[in-house]
Structure 1
Amino acid sequence: MENDDMKFRIVYDGPALDTHEMDVRDLAPALLSLSDALEEAGKTIYGKDKRISVKVNASFKAGSFGVDLIAQSTSISSQIIGAFSGTNASAACNIISLVGFGYLASKQSYKGLIQLIKWLGPKKIKRIEPTFDGNAEIFIDDESEVFDNQVLELYKNKKIRRSLENVISKPLEKDGIDSFAVTIDNGHTFVEVTKDEALFFKVDSAEETIISESITERALHPLDISFRDGHKWNFSDGASPFQAEVSDEKFLKAIDEQSVAFAKGDLLLVDLKITQYLADKGIKTSYEVVNVKKIINPQRQIDFPF
């Protein structure tokens, strides 16, 4: 078993922290997300046998609101693949540098994930070209910068990006918290993200991929009718309630013109479109009433025995 430690410190600053206090409901999720980000970065760079964990040191130093942390890497493998040249750099130090929390002495000008996100800002990447030394040149508009390929791997990892959003963007949304910073050299240098830059760390919801789509005839019981934009109605199909968009314009127009009416307890026989998406948190299902075929009143419609 191999252990590598890396001490670093995160600091939140702003007038709301003049008393050097921070709400634990803001801090605890940020620290957990920080641990998640570094752990996922370790898996991305080194593979699943490498674990990077974060522990809170005993000392909380005054000045804004800072927390001393220790990043530890453990491996079931005896071999550490250095993310930088040379074998003396620890895995935890490599990850801290690749994420962009600080620089190795041998790589003073090294740019990590945080620097990439800040440099991109609200702009989109136009193209990426490989360089002769095995890195990647990223182009936005008329500018370009060279980043390590491993930084790009971190940039593409949705879990890491979500975790950084929780560490940086969400705390800085609070009034009076104006910046986030990290130091790995006891305050001699800081990597800082301002309140304006924190917006760049928000991750847009990824486009959802349709995995199943079908239209089926279904009798529905309207539970709650809405005539607001979107026409989201609540229905029951006899098994469970759900929300569906009513997109049958002919039916909606008939209701508006009062040429059709239905009473409490009536059922709608409809063509129901059921779409399943692959979303961030698994499978998501949406419902849409694309055609209303008939209004059924159970009290009036009785089958005659023959």
Structure 2
Amino acid sequence: MAKYKFDVHYKGTALEDNSIPVKDLAPSLLSLSEAFQTIQKINNPSEAPLSLNITATKKGSFLVELLLVNGKDLLKQAMDFLNSGPSTAVINLATYVGIFVNVVNYITKIADKKIKDKKEENGKVTITLDDDSSITMSADEFKVYKNTRGAS
């Protein structure tokens, strides 16, 4: 089973007492899990489904350590290990995290602007926005952005 561990830190004035209501945290974690599943479906639809798991909370702070998990079958794990499957799976998981972070950054930069033009070349997509600024991203990142935002 491939694993890629990363942390999500929540901060801000709402956390002055080192706590957050579960009803506020749960939707953000569910959305994060759905985002990774969407990225995987777009990039590797035949791969075993991802699961985003919480591994621990550290005392005295609000730190949630997340574990992105791929696959469960022990026999398949053994066969994949012999065929370098786990290495590929870990690389895929790291790639999904990279795509997620980049797409969040693109969404932030694009905000309420409209895409005026789109050019695809050599696995890259360059979009020109209605303010004449442009952003270049990988074709995979654009697929995820398009899926997330309904962009054309």
Q: CA deviation digits over 1:146-173, x for unaligned, max 9?
A: 101111111122xxx3xxxxxxxxxxxx
- Residue 63 of structure 2 aligns with which residue? 66
Give yes or no for the alignment of 1:151 onto 2:141. Answer: yes
- The question of whether the paired residues in 1 share the 8 Å contact of 2:68 and 2:93 is answered with yes
Residue 137 of structure 1 aligns with which residue? 126
Query: Cα deviations across residues 138-193 of structure 1 (Å, max 9, x unaligned)?
Result: 11132212101111111122xxx3xxxxxxxxxxxxxxxxxxxxxxxxxxxxxxxx
**How much is the aligned-residue C-alpha RMSD, in angstroms?**
2.9
Paired residues for 1:92-107 under 5 Å: 92-100=93-101
For residues 63 and 113 of structure 2, the distance between their equivalents in structure 1, rounded to whole angstroms, comes to: 31
**1:11–1:67 CA contact under 8 A, matched in 2:** yes
Alignment partners' CA distance in 1, 2:111 and 2:89:
34
Alignment counterpart, residue 114 of structure 1, candidates 104, 115, 130: 104
User: Which structure shows the higher helix fraction?
Assistant: 2
Return the index of the structure with the highest Cα Rg: 1
Q: List per-residue Cα deviations over 1:2-41 (Å, max 9, x = no partner).
A: x221111112211221111110111122212211111121
Decide which of 17, 20, 42 is 2:18's aligned counterpart.
20
Over residues 33-56 of structure 1, what are the superposed CA-to-partner deviations in whole Å (9 max), with x where a residue is unaligned? Answer: 211111121111101433121110
In structure 1, list runs of 5 or more residues that go unmatched: 101-111, 162-202, 207-306
- SS of equivalent to 1:22: coil
Runs of at least 5 residues in structure 2 that lack an aligned partner in the other structure: none
Bigger RCO (CA 8 Å, 6+ sep): 2
Q: Does residue 1:91 correspond to 2:105, yes or no?
A: no
Change (3 A) 1:89 1:69: closer
* TM-score of the pair, normalised by structure 1: 0.41
Q: Is the 8 A contact 1:136 1:147 kept in 2?
A: yes
> 1:29: which partner in 2?
27
**More strand by proportion, 1 or 2?**
1
Normalised TM-score (structure 2): 0.79
Query: How many pairs are equivalent?
Result: 142
Question: 1:66, CA displacement in angstroms?
Answer: 2.6
